[in-house]
Amino acid sequence: MDLVQMGKDAVTASRRLVKLSSKKKEEILTAVADALVKNAGKIAGANKKDMERAEAAGMTPALLDRLKMDEDRVAGMADGVRQVAVLDDPIGNMEEVKMRPNGLRIGKMRVPMGVVGMIYESRPNVTADAFAICFKTGNACILRGGSDSIETVVEIGNVIRECLSAGGVDPNCVQIMEDTDRKYVTELLHLNDYVDLIIPRGSERLINHVVENSTVPVIKTGTGNCHVYVDESADLEMAVNIIENAKTQRIGVCNACESVLVHEAVAEKLIPLLAERLVKSNVEMRGDEKAMSFDSRLIEATPEDWGKEYLDYIISIKTVASVDEAIDHINRYGTGHSETIVTKDYDNSGKFLNYVDAACVYVNASSRFSDGGEFGFGAEIGISTQKIHARGPMGLNEMTSYKYVIYGNGQIR
């Protein structure tokens, strides 16, 4: 696999892609969505090979769920591409146009990043999501899926590339790194002459490796130690419903709830209600001393539990004396992803929104909504926990840069 040549081909493709009209991009993306559905059986068949190999290797249920790509999930993946297709194209948009005293008009024009390298694990649907968002924003992409999902990733990539060729578009707008030897990841991270941005999406180990070793700029998509804080004024039934959804709907996702904070004034009532609900899903509950005193089904938590992203049927439960203590705990142990307060108190909700340091902060709603599709982006390329221009679910705007455009009529300085 010649990554330098792939980089050169990607640059060439990106320069051709930026000239495509919004209408043409929409047509191509719609055709890709149709082709994914048409080839759902082939994609699911490739995924079956990945699943069998992963099961034999002892992959956890949470990661197997991430890896799974049956025909229904292919249809959902295609729907995401269709949603991206009809979104407004940001490329070429003019923003913040101002007239200077000397008559110059200065504004910002939205432009593509150029070439995006994406490294991800287990989630083969990211292949289509990343392509759709990059293509819509005029970016070429080089995609490196994990060895656990390579059969599925390659099949999805082949379907997309065939559509591009059939539509008269350079298929090198999307290239799949089919060799999963890790030496190629290292090479990609140093491909500064051709790659403009790297986005890692996967385990904390993968993300940290990319951040620490890349010489290409990186947008860090973080792990998700997400909390639900139940305030003293909370509707307890609402709180239980939100926690159950955030914990058990899908355990292997970064927006799942991993930790619950309970105001001590309602802990005696809430914890037995919550335990009764969570045991039905076989969730192991690890609590502090006070939380354990309210229900015998809780086991003792260790200090490591407060900062743990379990990706499993495990949750930590801690009692706190105030919303301020909850905020301090979250800011210490959270990963900057998604945090929730359940409350009827307007002032406490305001405190939580203002002072919790996270990309997404919720009042009376499940953290499971931290998702590009749920936010109206059609799909997402990842959820950034950094504080750069991209934070939270990354859609079209987050995959663009800008250039200053200056209109004059002969001014000199």
pLDDT in tens, 191-213: 999 999 999 998 888 999 999 99
Mean pLDDT of the chain: 95
Q: How far apart are CA 326 and CA 329, in angstroms?
A: 5
Q: Looking at the structure, do residues 211 and 81 belong to the same domain, yes or no? A: yes
Confidence check: pLDDT of 61 > 90: no
Q: State yes or no: pLDDT of 222 exceeds 80.
A: no
388, part of any domain: no
Same domain, yes or no: 230 and 216:
no
Q: Report the predicted TM-score, pTM, of the whole model to 2 decimal places.
A: 0.89
Residues sharing a CB contact under 8 Å with residue 134, sequence separation 6 or more, in sequence order: 116, 140, 141, 173, 174, 381, 399
What is the per-residue pLDDT for 223?
Answer: 83
pLDDT for the residue 226: 97
Q: How many domains does the chain have?
A: 2
- Are residues 217 and 79 both part of a single domain? yes
pLDDT score recorded for residue 348? 98
pLDDT surpasses 80 at 243: yes
**Do 16 and 85 reside in the same domain of the chain?**
yes
Q: Is 158 left (phi over 0), alpha (psi -120 to 50) or beta?
A: alpha
Task: Give the pLDDT of residue 63.
Answer: 86
Assign 327 a pLDDT band (cuts: 50, 70, 90): very high
Cβ–Cβ < 8 Å for 151, 99: no
Query: Which range has the worst mean pLDDT, 40-44, 178-182, 200-204, 244-248?
Result: 200-204
Same domain, 148 and 249: no
pLDDT at 54: 95
The larger pLDDT score, comparing residue 381 to residue 155, is at 155
Establish if 379 belongs to a structural domain: no
- 326 burial via Cβ count (<10 Å: 0-12, 13-18, 19+): buried
Q: How many residues does the chain have?
A: 413
How large is the average pLDDT for residues 350-362? 97
Would you say residue 385 has pLDDT above 80? yes
pLDDT of residue 372: 87
Average pLDDT of span 139-159: 97
Same domain, 208 and 64: yes
Question: Which ranges of 95-235 does DSSP label H, i.e. alpha helix?
Answer: 126-136, 150-166, 182-188, 204-213
So what's the pLDDT on residue 388?
A: 81
Distance CA 411, CA 272 (A): 74
- The whole-number average pLDDT for the span 146-153 is 95
The answer on pLDDT for 275 being more than 90 is yes
pLDDT of residue 390: 87
Residue 151: which residues within 8 A CB-CB, separation 6 or more? 46, 47, 49, 50
Query: Alpha-carbon dihedral of residues 151, 154, 158, 161, nearest 10 degrees?
Result: 170
CB 182 within 8 A of CB 194: no
Same domain, 354 and 326: yes
Backbone angles phi, psi at 203, to 5 degrees: -70, 160
Considering the domain architecture, whether residues 162 and 29 belong to the same structural domain is answered as yes
What residue numbers bound the domain in which 403 lies?
3-221+394-407
Q: pLDDT exceeding 90 applies to what percent of the chain?
A: 89
Do 116 and 213 belong together in one domain?
yes
* Residue from 247, 268, 265 nearest 256 by CA: 247
Mean local confidence (pLDDT), 178-195:
96
State whether 287 and 183 are in the same domain: no
Predicted local distance difference test score (pLDDT) of residue 185: 95
Q: Write the CATH number for 44.
A: 3.40.605.10
Residue pair 207/222 in contact (Cβ under 8 Å)? The answer is yes
Q: If you compute the radius of gyration of the chain from its CA atoms, what whole number of angstroms results?
A: 23
**Sheet bearing 360-363, strands edge to edge:** 299-300, 284-287, 314-320, 257-263, 226-230, 338-342, 360-363
If asked whether residues 198 and 270 sit together in one domain, one would say no
Whether the predicted pLDDT of 393 surpasses 80: yes
Q: Assess whether pLDDT exceeds 90 at residue 337.
A: yes
